[in-house]
């Protein structure tokens, strides 16, 4: 590791800790279709958009979005992801304050993690991640996740009640709430329609 480039140090740290995510080989333990690089890219794009509108630090938000699911295969992925992000960013030569600000966003972004964001940038990452679980993409990802975890339609609908339909009220920034409104309405529409069909109410003709 003596003369290793920052990129190869980064690859080494990630491979050691979470598996070979740089490989083009699918690694089911790390990236699953519901939480793949496309999800990360969408969250990054949404987060940057919100950051620009809200006057937040775009560089912090962008880096936090890139790394937010890096420990997705760990039990408390937000806390573990923050730890790993610190290692990665310090191997890449970022300064301590930048690292802490990014790590704090990652540590508090998760719906189930229970930690409240403490900065505008952290709220933006949390909002962007939630927006990607809403709307048509949210429906698609919910069923992908169900496939990954062996849930059927009934359990997926319970997931709508327990999580997805609550996300709109958890959005913090004005910009996210504007984007989220239509996505939330679509989730409600889908939920109502599938309940209607599951209860055979459309057989009453």
- Interface positions with Fe ion (CB under 5 A): 69, 129
In which element (H, E) is residue 48 found? helix 37-54
In this structure, how many other beta carbons lie within 10 angstroms of the beta carbon of residue 7?
A: 11
Kindly state the smallest distance separating residue 101's Cβ from Fe ion, in Å. Answer: 18
Alpha helix locations (H) across 55-202?
A: 58-67, 77-91, 96-107, 120-131, 135-149, 153-162, 167-170, 174-198
Closest CA to 137 of 27, 53, 38: 38
Kindly state the smallest distance separating residue 129's Cβ from Fe ion, in Å. Answer: 4
Query: In the 8-state DSSP scheme, what is residue 4?
Result: -
The Cα–Cα gap between 34 and 38 comes to 9
Closest CA to 65 of 94, 44, 42: 44
Comparison of 31 and 94: residue with beta carbon closer to Fe ion: 31
Comparison of 9 and 27: residue with beta carbon closer to Fe ion: 27
Kindly state the smallest distance separating residue 96's Cβ from Fe ion, in Å. Answer: 25
Comparison of 107 and 129: residue with beta carbon closer to Fe ion: 129
Kindly state the smallest distance separating residue 8's Cβ from Fe ion, in Å. Answer: 26
Kindly state the smallest distance separating residue 196's Cβ from Fe ion, in Å. Answer: 30
Comparison of 3 and 112: residue with beta carbon closer to Fe ion: 112
Comparison of 38 and 174: residue with beta carbon closer to Fe ion: 38
The Cα–Cα gap between 171 and 78 comes to 18
In this structure, how many other beta carbons lie within 10 angstroms of the beta carbon of residue 153?
A: 12
Kindly state the smallest distance separating residue 141's Cβ from Fe ion, in Å. Answer: 10
Comparison of 37 and 193: residue with beta carbon closer to Fe ion: 37
């Amino acid at each position: 590791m003596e003369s290793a480039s920052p990129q190869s140090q980064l690859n080494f740290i990630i491979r050691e800790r979470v598996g070979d995510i740089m490989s083009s080989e699918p690694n089911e333990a790390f990236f699953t279709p519901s939480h793949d690089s496309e999800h990360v890219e969408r969250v990054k794009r949404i987060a940057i958009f919100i950051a620009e509108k809200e006057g937040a630090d775009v560089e912090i938000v962008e880096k936090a979005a890139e790394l937010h699911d890096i420990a997705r295969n760990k039990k408390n992925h937000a806390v573990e992801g923050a730890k790993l992000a610190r290692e990665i960013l310090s191997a890449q030569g970022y300064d301590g304050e930048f690292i802490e600000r990014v790590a704090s966003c990652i540590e508090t972004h998760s719906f189930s993690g229970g930690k409240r964001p403490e900065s505008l940038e952290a709220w933006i990452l949390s909002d962007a991640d939630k927006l990607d679980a809403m709307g048509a993409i949210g429906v698609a990802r919910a069923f992908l996740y169900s496939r990954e975890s062996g849930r059927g339609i009934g359990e997926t609908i319970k997931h709508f009640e327990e999580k997805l339909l609550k996300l709109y009220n958890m959005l913090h920034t004005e910009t996210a709430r504007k984007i989220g409104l239509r996505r939330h309405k679509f989730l409600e529409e889908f939920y109502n329609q599938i309940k209607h069909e599951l209860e055979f109410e459309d057989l009453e003709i």
